[in-house]
Structure 1
Amino acid sequence: MSEPTPFPSVTPNFGLPLLIAGQSQKEFFVNQALSVLDALSSQAVVASKPTPPEDAAEGESFRVTSPAAQAWTGCEDHIAIRIGGSWHFVPPSDGMRLFDRTATVSLFFRSGWKAESSPVAPTGGAIVDAEARAALVQLIQMLGNIGLLGPSTQ
């Protein structure tokens, strides 16, 4: 597998290659930047994995989990994007959000990826309001269905 091309000048957030005056092969740099933007703009990954899948399609992206191995060694928490038959890694920044399509959960990055689990529906207590509890359970289920909450801990 070939190593990704290091770029002499990149953007601060996603490390997209910048063009310089008189640069040859501009199409390579522009295509690289467009490929990264295409993958990141969906704000979704196929899955979260510690190792690269053998059958990854061009443009697919994955969240690298710990302990990263094989071609992803040392890239924990990064977004791995398949570009031109190689892996391109984008480090996350605080505030980045992703949707993991396999786990069907939204993730948020703040010093590490976080996925909130669903709150526990109320049980017990001296005064029981069945309608309020039913509304809370329905709200928790709806937020989970759209990926804002992780799996229920009940």
Structure 2
Amino acid sequence: MVTPAAQAQKEFTVNEAFALIDALLHIAAEGEASEPPASPADGECWIVGAEPSGEWSGQAGAIACRQGGTWLFLMPSEGLTLFDKAAGCTVRFADGWHRATPVALPDGGSTIDAEARTAIADIVGALESLGILPDS
């Protein structure tokens, strides 16, 4: 039997599509690193650092996801967000990866408004609990 063109190993194409969907659906990165972890588990995702080495060479800024015992690299598009487990906050890709920085609560000053400081602390706490800001 002759296999028509573009029909050979179609299960490979379908499996790769499922792996991409699995990697991107509710993406959460373990953190950012420039070299792969020593013993990665399937399902782990990492943001590849600026100077990658080893199996990640040439993949700076990509998302490396471990699938089926190998690394699957995804180049992020503008606006992609993911949760960085190590930083405890969301990370957004816009011409590079960007993370919010911790916010210092008001301290000192010539006029102290306890109610305003409490409200600001509550807002910062809510943003931290949602993963929008890292814990200060």
- TM-score (ref. length: structure 2): 0.88
> Does 2:130 match 1:146?
yes
Q: Secondary structure at the match of 1:89?
A: strand
Structure 1 residues 53-106: Cα deviation after superposition (integer angstroms, max 9, x where no partner): 121112221111122111111211100011222211111111000101122121
Q: Give me the identity figure in percent.
A: 38
Asked whether the equivalents of residues 88 and 135 of structure 2 are also in contact (C-alpha less than 8 Å), the reply is no
Give the Å deviation of 1:127. 2.8
* Cα root mean square deviation, aligned: 1.8
Long gaps (5+) in structure 2: none
Task: Spell out the pairing of 1:72-91 with structure 2 (5 A cutoff).
Answer: 72-91=56-75
Q: Secondary structure at the match of 1:24?
A: coil
Check 1:21–1:41 CA distance in 2 against 1; reply closer, same or farther (3 A cut): farther
Long gaps (5+) in structure 1: 1-19
> Does 2:20 match 1:36?
yes
1:119 to 81, 88, 103: 103
Asked whether the equivalents of residues 35 and 59 of structure 1 are also in contact (C-alpha less than 8 Å), the reply is no
Task: Spell out the pairing of 1:1-150 with structure 2 (5 A cutoff).
Answer: 22-150=6-134
Q: Which amino acid aligns with 1:44?
A: A
Give the Å deviation of 1:21. 6.6
Q: Which amino acid aligns with 1:50?
A: S
Q: Secondary structure at the match of 1:80?
A: strand
Deviating above 4 A after TM superposition, structure 1's stretches of 4 or more consecutive aligned residues are: none
Asked whether the equivalents of residues 64 and 76 of structure 1 are also in contact (C-alpha less than 8 Å), the reply is yes
